[in-house]
């Protein structure tokens, strides 16, 4: 029904689209970041944030503040926004909003399984989990010894169950297997979300296809770089790439055989949208690649707001708010550790 969204979109989606655009106008601006980067203490950061939408969440926090407190309270703001939108949403928007949290669920599962492997306290691990990715039986993940048990005891009743079909093995969980599990789950999740968006059609399908394809391509590059020098074979590497995106299928064939960062760069530079990312980096440098990807991601999510009558604005807002929280965490850490010279290294300006 492309082009006709305006006729019926506002019946169910108009109120929430207005809400999410209002939330978007509350994101921190470049001027805010410049002021935050001048702060001398965490209390100065709290004082500056008191004039923003984070104010009510931080106002009752006593001194001395910790970075974790600031991040926790800012994340609470994101969770409250999300829950409010989910409560008001009707189908298919409610399912779309639920899809947004599945990535956090995967991260939480991996965090708890990895922590248990290294004999960390389960309660301590639960506190580190992202609140958007929590589910009822998450604490019992600690008892699983292999993928099959993980699925049978815990995950069979969660939305992640369908994604586990590809990675159920009887092998014991170790760091390598857990990382392969994470990437296999993400692959299945992204492909499922992509199919769901295609089914919705219209502007949602068009814009979300672009955003999810970028996510799939970024994951393909990260998997390639992280697996250089490990025992992961080319075929195993290839299986972890999502079956859509700009690199699919020919770019994946080339990435699967890359042996160093410069070979990855040569593959990416064949694709015009990604040439600008590596133009910012010198040869052999991969440390700043994450920031370059984040900057490109922010640019694409901001563009999602230029069009009306589609669901991609909800996805874009959640991602922009998460980037803002990463920025605040970096600035707070730099201030707390007296490393103000590095404060601009990882801050990605949104507006």
Task: Kindly report the CATH number assigned to the domain that includes residue 58.
Answer: 1.10.132.50
Instruction: Indicate the pTM of the whole model.
Output: 0.93
Q: Decide if 121 is inside a domain.
A: yes
Q: Decide if 346 is inside a domain.
A: yes
Query: Which residue's structure tokens are 């201030």?
Result: 335
Does 120 share its domain with 155? yes
312, 203 contact by CB (below 8 A): yes
Does 75 share its domain with 107? no
- To 10 degrees, what angle do helices 272-279 and 289-304 make? 130
Does 70 share its domain with 93? no
The residue out of 160, 184, 200 marking a domain boundary is 200
The residue out of 200, 219, 253 marking a domain boundary is 200
The residue out of 172, 200, 228 marking a domain boundary is 200
Per-residue pLDDT tens over the stretch 222-233: 999 988 888 888
Does 47 share its domain with 115? no
d(CA 97, CA 99): 5
Taking the CB of residue 309, how many other CB atoms lie within 10 A of it? 19
Regions of the chain short of the pLDDT cut 50 = 1
Q: Decide if 180 is inside a domain.
A: yes
Q: Decide if 58 is inside a domain.
A: yes
Range of the domain at 164: 89-200
Note the pLDDT of residue 1.
Answer: 46
Does 61 share its domain with 93? no
Q: Decide if 34 is inside a domain.
A: yes
d(CA 134, CA 126): 9
Does 127 share its domain with 163? yes
Helix (H, G, I), strand (E, B) or coil at 301: helix
Does 135 share its domain with 102? yes
Does 62 share its domain with 116? no
| Tokens read off for 303 | 């563009």
Contact partners, residue 106, CB within 8 Å, separation at least 6: 133, 160, 163, 182, 185, 186, 189
Does 191 share its domain with 100? yes
d(CA 274, CA 268): 6
Q: Decide if 293 is inside a domain.
A: no
Alpha helices in 28-143 (DSSP H): 30-37, 42-49, 55-58, 67-88, 93-117, 122-128
Check which CATH number belongs to the domain holding 185 and give it: 1.20.1690
Question: What total number of domains does the chain contain?
Answer: 2
Q: Decide if 53 is inside a domain.
A: yes
Note the pLDDT of residue 167.
Answer: 65
144, 161 contact by CB (below 8 A): no
Does 74 share its domain with 95? no
Note the pLDDT of residue 60.
Answer: 87
Q: Decide if 137 is inside a domain.
A: yes
Does 150 share its domain with 97? yes
Does 74 share its domain with 96? no
Per-residue pLDDT tens over the stretch 23-61: 999 999 999 999 999 989 999 999 999 999 999 999 888
């Amino acid at each position: 029904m492309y082009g006709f969204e305006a006729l019926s979109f506002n019946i169910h989606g108009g109120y929430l689209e207005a809400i999410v655009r209002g939330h978007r106008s509350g994101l921190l601006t470049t001027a805010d970041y410049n002021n935050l980067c001048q702060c001398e203490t965490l209390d100065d950061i709290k004082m500056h944030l008191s004039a923003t939408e984070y104010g009510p969440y931080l106002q009752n926090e006593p001194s001395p503040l910790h970075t974790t407190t600031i991040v926790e309270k800012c994340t609470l703001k994101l969770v409250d926004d999300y829950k409010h939108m989910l409560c008001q949403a009707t189908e298919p928007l409610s399912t779309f909003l639920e899809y947004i949290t599945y990535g956090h669920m995967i991260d939480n599962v991996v965090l708890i399984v990895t922590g248990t492997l290294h004999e960390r306290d389960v309660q301590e691990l639960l506190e580190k989990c992202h609140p958007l990715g929590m589910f009822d039986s998450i604490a019992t993940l600690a008892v699983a010894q292999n993928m099959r048990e993980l699925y049978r005891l815990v995950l069979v009743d969660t939305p992640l169950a369908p994604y586990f079909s590809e990675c159920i093995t009887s092998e014991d969980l170790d760091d390598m297997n857990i990382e392969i599990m994470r990437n296999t789950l993400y692959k299945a999740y992204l492909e499922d979300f992509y199919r769901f968006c295609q089914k919705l059609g219209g502007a949602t399908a068009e814009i979300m296809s672009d955003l999810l394809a970028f996510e799939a391509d970024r994951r393909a590059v990260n998997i390639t770089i992280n697996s250089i020098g490990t025992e992961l074979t080319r075929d195993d590497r290839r299986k972890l790439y999502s079956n859509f995106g700009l690199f699919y299928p020919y770019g994946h064939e080339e990435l699967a055989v890359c042996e160093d960062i410069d070979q990855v760069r040569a593959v990416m530079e064949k694709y015009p949208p990604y040439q600008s990312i590596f133009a910012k980096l010198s040869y052999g440098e991969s440390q700043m690649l994450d920031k370059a990807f984040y900057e490109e991601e922010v640019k694409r999510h901001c563009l999602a707001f230029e069009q009306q009558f589609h669901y991609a604005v909800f996805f874009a807002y959640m991602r922009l708010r998460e980037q803002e929280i990463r920025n605040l965490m970096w600035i707070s850490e730099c201030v707390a550790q007296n490393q103000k010279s590095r404060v601009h290294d990882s801050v990605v300006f949104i507006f």
